[in-house]
Structure 1
Amino acid sequence: MPSVNLKQAIAAADSGMWSIVVDCLQTLSLQELDRNETVLDLALQVLIQGDIEQQWDIAKIIPKLGEIAIQPLLEIVNDRDLDLEDRWFGARILGAFKQPQVVTALVALIQQNEDPELTTIASGALTKIGIPAIATMTDLLATPDRGIAIAILAQIRHSQTIEPLIQVIDDPDPQLRTLIVEALGSFHDPRIPPRLLLKLTDVAASVRQATVVALSLRGDLAVELDLLEHLKPRLFDLNLDVCKSTALGLARLPDPEVVGTLAEVLASINTPNELKSSVILALGWIGTQPAIDSLIAALENRSIDLAPEIVTAIGKTERERVYASQRLVAYLNEKELYKGHPAIVKQEIAAALGNLGNINTVTDLVRLLKDPDDRVKLHVMTAISKLTSIVTVEMLPKKPEFPPDCGNQ
């Protein structure tokens, strides 16, 4: 006997009131939904005749009906007389079913290459199916459809994909090689690092960059594989993006010599500012005392355009917050009454000291309130408010007033 809600759904469907049909079906229990032919018929009507919001809602219900939904969905997907949007939803829903006939049908749909978006959705469904699709995708690696197979295997992220991906790591297509390296980099498997090391000199910059990222995530192998020595040449790669990824990647390695390597790159007059910015960020991430010292040294010798970045990086360090604040205060005190520093640098130093949380720097911040630049004063007051609530009102100057057009400066 149909429940009251199911009867209401049937009545609403007779009147084409699809939103009510969806609302009624959403109230049914899993037991009521399981293999319910009546619900399936109603759901398919919504899928074909409802608007996109109703289709999204019904797509969440159909998988709960079980395997009885597979064949009707396959028919929808393969019906070229239907709107593509209906077929897209059918393919998307099929991703919830891990049966061999679904994999076969989705592969056939991809091979037809009828519509790019339909192909993309079918590929996504196969990715969602996961392990049951691996064998079929592996078989496709030797066919003209290897690109789709590689893309799907790369997204499944299961250890069973490692061997087939290794087999095609030298694919002629650099985009596919990049996908393969990115996928393999997510696994900790002894077969992978030796293959990745070879890809550091790949002719394609995207592959080299992906390889740098993948290897930099294997800090556990830093000593065993001497990753610093392998990655260091990529700091001088012909492609700037590879250089930047290398600088950031080295920051992940637990090797104390990384700081010296990055400091040399930062100090070189031949290093482009874009790369220096990545090096500054990397040293800030490392955050050891030697890393902070390297940033301070760069700050003392660097042009004004990178000084704010350096101070910001120091201010975000987590490992040596007290030491970082002390070094910034010492740098600030190098110039008499702080007048020798540009306003933007003093602003960033104030902000950094506030972030670092060392209450002992409040005295230095209060002295900086004498600065003639109102924006510096605002940054200083914000920093002080973060560090302590003990500072008296008398210690703080009046809130600076800006000209009406200051917001456009």
Structure 2
Amino acid sequence: MFSDQPAAIATAIDTLLAGDFQDRWQVAKQFSEIGVAALPALLELMQDEALDWEVRWFVTRILGNFESSTAIEALIQLLLHSDDDDLRQMAAAALAQIGVAAVTALAPLLQYPVQRPLVVQALARIPHRAVIPLLMQVVRDEQASVRATAMAALGHFSQPDLLPVLMMALDDREATVRAEAVRGLGRWSATQMQPAHIARLAQGLTDVDDNVAQLTANTLGRLGTPPAITALITALQGPPPPVHRQVALVRSLMRCLTEGGLSCLMERWTTLALPAQAEIISGLNHLEDRALQEQAAMTLCHYLRVGIVPAPLWPHLILTLGYLRHPDALPLLQQLLQDDDPRVRMHASEALRQLNSQGSSSAPEAP
């Protein structure tokens, strides 16, 4: 607290009026220390439309530090009546910064279609359950941006009555809304999601929008329940999807890998694009289950022997065999020490070192 408030306020106001952007940025921090005594001067500046735009923008931003009915009302009026989009956006941001104290004042503004997107943005940035009833009012709004913002915010509240709302949004005509619904469902715990919910969510794997499809795969992988794993496996067993969707499916399945999931990945190896195959190899380097390590190592050794591993993946796959530490890899790696390609010999030698360091039987070093 400043000992001489009037002087401190006057100095800070002078800096706002005459300083450059950096000066204004620094002095804006002082108003929190000065306190509500600065409000009359700040409100006078904000309401002066003849002032430089940047000054009014900073004042609007500063008002977000005051949980005061006077500041809230001034920001509401600016949001309602200003013709400047940037000032209205800053007013909404300032109201969001004030938080739950601003919710009651924001509620009536939902009736105005022009202001509604900014009002919903402000409400969405207030992490308090008081905003839930208001956001629920706009989940069927005609503006897709409003629906998407509401879904993004509601997805952060894991309470049972919101699950049907998020599930409903999976059928929205706009991909941005569907994407936010999928993101929201991804924050729910596996115990909250029933098989019927996962079955409906899994339909997003074939969504016309690539982002929705990939987000769906990520969410199913995070859930990791048997129905979610089954959905990912089923998607891979059908006709090969586009490459980026293949990668998302593989990455998600690797996150919750089971014997059935690994079998699917190995069986579909030749139908997958190179980036998806590379994702499998990358994921196997983080595999900790010994039974799955053995299953993967034997299959990869077979693929190397029969020649169905693309050349760009050889170095990575060879090193992965060292990580997986399976005895079947020893003779193959020893054979690769004689390969004509020096890079193959180098990676085989490194894989053997790694395999030996993990306690496998001895293997010869590269010459």
Q: CA deviation at 1:185?
A: 0.7
Q: CA deviation at 1:72?
A: 1.4
Q: RMSD of aligned C-alpha atoms?
A: 3.0
Change (3 A) 1:298 1:352: same
Give the aligned partner of residue 250 of structure 2: 280
CA distance in 2, matches of 1:121, 1:170: 26
CA distance in 2, matches of 1:384, 1:50: 66
Give the aligned partner of residue 373 of structure 1: 341
Q: Secondary structure at the match of 1:201?
A: coil
TM-score, normalised with respect to structure 2: 0.87
Change (3 A) 1:200 1:60: same
Q: Secondary structure at the match of 1:226?
A: helix
Q: CA deviation at 1:130?
A: 0.6
Q: CA deviation at 1:353?
A: 5.0
Give the aligned partner of residue 40 of structure 1: 9
Q: CA deviation at 1:98?
A: 0.9
Give the aligned partner of residue 250 of structure 1: 220
CA distance in 1, matches of 2:220, 2:303: 34
Counterpart residue identity of residue 92, structure 1 = R
Q: Does 1:194 align with 2:164?
A: yes
How many residues in Structure 1 have an aligned counterpart in Structure 2? 363
Q: Does 1:102 align with 2:75?
A: no
Q: CA deviation at 1:205?
A: 1.7
CA contact (8 A) 1:34 1:65 kept: no
Q: CA deviation at 1:162?
A: 0.5
Counterpart residue identity of residue 264, structure 1 = T
Q: CA deviation at 1:265?
A: 1.1
CA distance in 1, matches of 2:93, 2:158: 25
Q: CA deviation at 1:327?
A: 3.3
CA contact (8 A) 1:281 1:313 kept: yes
Q: CA deviation at 1:63?
A: 0.7
Q: Deviations over 1:226-254 (max 9, x none)?
A: 32122122222232322222111111224
Q: Select between 284-293 and 151-160 the one with higher mean Cα deviation.
A: 284-293
Gaps of 5+ in 2: none
Q: CA deviation at 1:125?
A: 0.9
CA distance in 1, matches of 2:246, 2:336: 29
CA distance in 2, matches of 1:335, 1:220: 35
Give the aligned partner of residue 5 of structure 1: none
Equivalent in 123, 147, 157 of residue 153 of structure 1: 123
Counterpart residue identity of residue 243, structure 1 = A
CA contact (8 A) 2:262 2:296 kept: no
Counterpart residue identity of residue 226, structure 1 = A
CA contact (8 A) 1:128 1:156 kept: yes
CA distance in 1, matches of 2:87, 2:237: 52
Equivalent in 313, 326, 338 of residue 294 of structure 2: 326
Q: Secondary structure at the match of 1:156?
A: coil
Q: Does 1:85 align with 2:44?
A: no
Q: CA deviation at 1:95?
A: 0.8
Q: CA deviation at 1:334?
A: 1.0
Change (3 A) 1:337 1:297: closer
Counterpart residue identity of residue 349, structure 1 = L
Q: Select between 169-178 and 297-306 the one with higher mean Cα deviation.
A: 297-306
> 1:179-190 maps to which residues of 2 (within 5 A)?
179-190=149-160
CA distance in 1, matches of 2:36, 2:342: 70
> 1:6-405 maps to which residues of 2 (within 5 A)?
31=1, 33=2, 36-144=5-113, 145-224=115-194, 226-269=196-239, 271-304=241-274, 306-317=276-287, 320-335=288-303, 341-353=309-321, 363=330, 368-377=336-345, 379-380=347-348, 395-396=365-366
Q: Deviations over 1:141-198 (max 9, x none)?
A: 1123222211111111210000111122110111111111111010022221122222
Q: Secondary structure at the match of 1:252?
A: helix
CA contact (8 A) 2:75 2:95 kept: yes
Gaps of 5+ in 1: 1-30, 398-409
Change (3 A) 1:336 1:154: closer
CA distance in 2, matches of 1:90, 1:387: 64
CA contact (8 A) 1:47 1:54 kept: yes
CA distance in 2, matches of 1:335, 1:165: 54
CA distance in 2, matches of 1:47, 1:123: 21
CA distance in 1, matches of 2:365, 2:283: 29
Q: Select between 224-233 and 243-252 the one with higher mean Cα deviation.
A: 224-233
CA distance in 2, matches of 1:382, 1:222: 46
Counterpart residue identity of residue 60, structure 1 = K
Moved over 6 A (4+): 359-362, 384-392
CA distance in 2, matches of 1:384, 1:69: 71
Q: Secondary structure at the match of 1:187?
A: coil
